[in-house]
Structure 1
């Protein structure tokens, strides 16, 4: 087992998440397999065409299937008649991307697809045969499932080539980012700039961690997103770098976004954001999580300053913050050990948690030694060393493990902690002051800047795709079973 984040085996993680979603919602997407002219005519006659997209089309039945899948998930759907148009827009964009990917020669071989399906099955703790049976039992055919998965992988690869690969991040941007982060960390989160005089215009540097959730999502999904946001807000109040906390959360869940919005006057901030941080000082976190139609936002004011001002001269001249020579940043490193019970068939979460709780009780009662228990029971490469993981820096461990570890005092043993690897029992052995190397700083800075740039680049790219395509809307309002108007 490799616990460190930077040693994760990347087996098309995005495709795995796609596959898991498809497994739950096999009836969700359209049958986009290429068909001959006779088959296409048959689909048109049975389903009716909602829109012509370049040389292809989107059927009314495809829209119906998406709505049926949403209802099956218990999603609260809007009643203003906008749903069918929204889904049609999504289907049109998917169709355009698939057409373009095909024209550009992007493909997914059968061998690659089988490997992805194998990974998805393993993620669900199933054999491929068992997974196939589950798909069929859900009411779909396995061939349709494979086609939907192939389409999603094609779209992902096309997007990566067209958007992600074209994001340019200069060394100067990285240097500026590190300078700002260094200034914030070495000042202990204190306000960095002179505040605006009373009544004078000001600029506010706000950062956010965003947990998206569809406004029409069910109560369960809303509650889960709110719970995650509240947990991040609690962690953000501690002695942590806010954007690094966001990076850890994004590694755990790629849907979570984090970004530094940069200096903005209040009128250029979302009204919800400004109301939440109106009385929040530089270096402080907003008192509550902000709810918007798109999801939940955890906000931190990095700095407040007079409009048009720059960093104070004495700060710009500080050796660590203003020097053009890269500097290591002081950080707290933790020495810990753990006992791991891996995820595996035959071991339920309840059993794993109960076993680890028993080990914890023995250590606390001093009837057993943690290291000896790790050697005997831990299912990890660190077991021969008594579960010793060595000195770890912020960001080195999976988020669930690191967050639980950071809450422990030296010598304290955690409650059982669940991660993607299984269940852990953690003991902190020591802490020390270390240094965040320049190389690690640059890696983190590049990831943070990329997150900041990606959303804007992606939205612009999608608009260009739609504008350059030939799309004719024919009939979106009627269901497939009704008579076209």
Structure 2
């Protein structure tokens, strides 16, 4: 459950639930679809905010999205830009759905019911109970199913369109590994001498990006900020920044990381430049950067005078071997007791229960493995909570950091992760090697993540540029007749 290479599969259904059930996205029920009278058609034309290819976005859809955001307590931008920003988002959604339909991407009723059944099961509810929960949110179950169907279709269309654009060569993998080995041998990421003070320069900035949907509520915003600040603390330690980003992305596929490459200040986002203006090469920005899209953790990989290549500045340094080789690592065998996040179990109750188990183990009145078999809510419970041998980066950061602080046989205090609350015991440690093959697997995944963000943004721009979009009336709210 905790292993990163299993996280994407485990989180997919939950993410869909979060994206659809709790976002409350309200698509308008345009009366033009009835096609009963000319008067209704005219009213709907009057209510159109934008024509998108052969479809349209209505002003009521904008109104509904604003109401949803307000109900969630989301801090909205000023009214001058709000409706335009929401319209842009709705236009992209409409284009994606139209293109997916043209490519024959569908979700059958049978498949949709199976997915809803899986979501209900993960929420420890029957299909009927889950349906009641949906209706209790104020959303009709049919609208929920339609929203979910569209979410799945768009997700599959994005995956098919963007993934096919990402090509990774063996040379790129070799260079990635060589760069990491140089950084390890040099004791850090800085590759160039700093530019002359006040002179023109280029800055190589890397980021770990935690996106927050425009429709996310205050709690989602706070959780994303908390996650970003935790990553910032980790980044300030003795870690490889891009490897930290890759690990975070495996834990949560929505997280992106990338090195932006050398850019002059005017080619960096203004928010980024302000954050790293006084940050030296190899250093992390002092605080998390908030943008309209989410939260960014930034690191300056290098600063150099414009027109000076790293190879020129490094020419006087001793050469570093970049021949692929096994890397020594420490592996840990541990076990845990997990109490999952769920309604009715507060953080205080989970902490209190786990602290009680810890006291019993330390007093030798109970065996950790037996307690895990009886109380752990994880697939490892039948094995006494045993997780087997784990390498650095295999586990979620909160768990791994707490585990690494423990001596053999020691039991941790309760530890919180996105899965719930854990009690951890270290059983054994050993020295091992990260093979060249494993390094290449990691490099390929890291390069793919780095390229995905740029490929996705390029794809969205292309969709918008090739679509026929005509903005009609964004500013006015929908007429009362359309409600």
Q: Which residue of 1 aligns with 2:186?
A: 187
Residues 30-429 of structure 1: pairs in structure 2 closer than 5 A:
30=28, 35=33, 37-38=35-36, 42=40, 45=43, 48-189=47-188, 191-196=190-195, 201-213=200-212, 220-307=219-306, 308-311=308-311, 312-313=314-315, 317-319=319-321, 321=322, 323=323, 326-341=324-339, 350-371=348-369, 373-374=371-372, 377-378=375-376, 382=380, 386-419=384-417, 422-429=420-427
SS at match of 1:230: helix
Q: How big is each residue's C-alpha offset from its partner over 1:85-116, in whole Å with a ceiling of 9 and x where there is no partner?
A: 22222222222221221111111111221122
| Counterpart among 473, 476, 480 of residue 474 in structure 2 | 476
Q: Which residue of 2 aligns with 1:457?
A: 455
Change (3 A) 1:27 1:286: closer
Q: How big is each residue's C-alpha offset from its partner over 1:234-261, in whole Å with a ceiling of 9 and x where there is no partner?
A: 1122232222221222233333221122
Q: What is the distance in 2 between the residues matched to 1:225 and 1:190?
A: 27
**Post-superposition offset of 1:357:** 0.9
Q: What is the distance in 2 between the residues matched to 1:16 and 1:152?
A: 13
**Post-superposition offset of 1:146:** 0.9
Q: What is the distance in 2 between the residues matched to 1:295 and 1:343?
A: 24
Q: How big is each residue's C-alpha offset from its partner over 1:270-327, in whole Å with a ceiling of 9 and x where there is no partner?
A: 44434444454443333333344443322223334454233435768422x2x3xx22
SS at match of 1:335: strand
Task: Assess if the C-alpha contact under 8 Å between 2:13 and 2:118 holds in 1.
Answer: no
Per the normalisation by structure 1, the TM-score is 0.85
SS at match of 2:174: helix
Q: What is the distance in 2 between the residues matched to 1:297 and 1:346?
A: 33
Task: Assess if the C-alpha contact under 8 Å between 1:178 and 1:445 holds in 2.
Answer: yes
TM-align CA RMSD? 3.4
Q: Single out whichever of 358-367 and 40-49 deviates more from structure 2.
A: 40-49
Q: Single out whichever of 36-45 and 143-152 deviates more from structure 2.
A: 36-45
**Post-superposition offset of 1:211:** 2.5
Q: What is the distance in 1 between the residues matched to 2:380 and 2:150?
A: 41
**Post-superposition offset of 1:349:** 5.4
**Post-superposition offset of 1:37:** 4.1
Q: How big is each residue's C-alpha offset from its partner over 1:339-371, in whole Å with a ceiling of 9 and x where there is no partner?
A: 334567886655443222112123344554544
Aligned length: 478
Gaps in structure 1 of 5+ consecutive residues: none
Q: What is the distance in 1 between the residues matched to 2:22 and 2:31?
A: 20
Task: Assess if the C-alpha contact under 8 Å between 1:236 and 1:285 holds in 2.
Answer: yes
Task: Assess if the C-alpha contact under 8 Å between 1:61 and 1:480 holds in 2.
Answer: yes
Per the normalisation by structure 2, the TM-score is 0.86
Change (3 A) 1:95 1:43: farther
Q: Single out whichever of 101-110 and 283-292 deviates more from structure 2.
A: 283-292
SS at match of 1:149: helix
Task: Assess if the C-alpha contact under 8 Å between 1:20 and 1:120 holds in 2.
Answer: no
Q: Single out whichever of 388-397 and 64-73 deviates more from structure 2.
A: 388-397
**Post-superposition offset of 1:69:** 0.7
Change (3 A) 1:106 1:316: farther
Task: Assess if the C-alpha contact under 8 Å between 1:189 and 1:282 holds in 2.
Answer: no
Task: Assess if the C-alpha contact under 8 Å between 2:69 and 2:215 holds in 1.
Answer: no
